[in-house]
Amino acid sequence: MRKINLFSAFVLACIVTSISASGQHAQPYTNVDQYAINLGALADKNVAQIADSLGRPFEDKKMKARAYFTWIAHFIALDGKAIRANDQKKTKPEDVVLNRKTTPLGFAQLFQEMCSMGNIRCLVVDGFVKNNTDDIANPADEPNHSWNVVQLGQSPDEWYYVDAAKASGQLDKKMIQFSPNFTSAYFFAERSIFNLDHFPDNKAWQLGDGPKGLKDFYALPVISYAAYEIGLKKPQPILGMIRSSIKNKVEFSFNYINYTEIKGINLIIGEGSRQLKPEPMNFTDNAGTIRFGYQFKREDTYPVKIEVDGKTVLQYIVEVSE
């Protein structure tokens, strides 16, 4: 009973945020998602029982995998303390469902275990992600994230990315406070976005085109969860570190595929006590290509976020000189 009380607020928040955060990506899976959410926390069940309950109504492997993904992303939280300490001691599937929080490796191993029980081929991939602008041009010494690849057929096109950890929500910059925020598009994620956001330790598990090496990956801007929701493509500048002068305007652009209309774009310059008031952008939208520019007014180095309709899609570092 104590465990249910501890996670009831978390579960409720996840269910509420899933309604607004899923978007078009969730539409083919609406019934599956609702079924997985309605099952609840299943706090008295072990991994095998949970997997059986989730997969039983679905013969199609994609739908079965989606049920596993949705349940995990709603009812398991990221453990900031374990992530900060790189503590992977409690990442076995049974430990994860017992504690209801874990590292990305724990998410990936639980999803893999459920897929195995559902006769779905699934592998865990260790690799790298950029969490914030401090990571730009600053490669990690060792892998800092884990996700899955799922195989549904013999063709290379039938391998798919899944990241249940990122789908569950976000930790703050200090890796302390977890905010549940279900993002549907991390299931069978769009490769072109995922490969800007994830780099595998073994490049054999990079599906499709992506950065050639770790240094190239860390040179890219930070891709935020809302980039998946809008189907972001071809962000420019392509490098995460932008150098400019107060005399020149920095030009930004990206393509998108999932919105019927983008209503507003803001630049968020700085962070913490040095964050400036959001700057609304005058932008053009030419058949799904967004373009806008901004002339920085003062010499400094700024973390900069691009927000689309109030959600961050890209993060850069801008170094401005005279």
Question: pLDDT (tens digit, 9 = 90+) per residue, 252-277?
Answer: 999 999 877 899 999 999 998 889 99
Task: For strands 265-269 and 279-280, give the pairing.
Answer: antiparallel
User: CATH for 233-321, among 2.70.98.10, 2.102.10.10, 3.40.50.1820, 2.60.40.10?
Assistant: 2.60.40.10
Taking the C-alpha atoms of residue 121 and residue 119, their distance in angstroms, rounded to an integer, is 7
Domain topology for 2-220:
C8orf32 fold (3.10.620)
**Which pLDDT belongs to residue 27?**
73
**Which pLDDT belongs to residue 178?**
97
Q: What residues does each domain of the chain span?
A: 2-220, 233-321
> What are the CA-CA distances from residue 309 to residues 26, 77, 243, 280, 312 (Å)?
19, 26, 26, 11, 9
Buried b (16+ CB within 10 A) or exposed e, 156-188: eeebbbbbbbbbbbbbeeebeebebbbbbbbbb
2-220 and 233-321 agree in CATH topology:
no
- The structure tokens listed for 53 are 């309950």
**Which pLDDT belongs to residue 26?**
63
Q: pLDDT by residue (tens digit) across 100-125?
A: 999 999 999 999 999 999 999 999 99
Angle between helices 61-75 and 104-117 (to 10 degrees): 150
**Which pLDDT belongs to residue 127?**
98
In this structure, the number of other CB atoms found within 10 A of the CB of residue 4 comes to 13
The candidate with the shortest Cα–Cα distance to 134, out of 175, 186, 181, 194, is 175
Residues 6+ apart with CB under 8 A from 298: 246, 320
Which residues of the chain are modeled with pLDDT < 70?
1-26
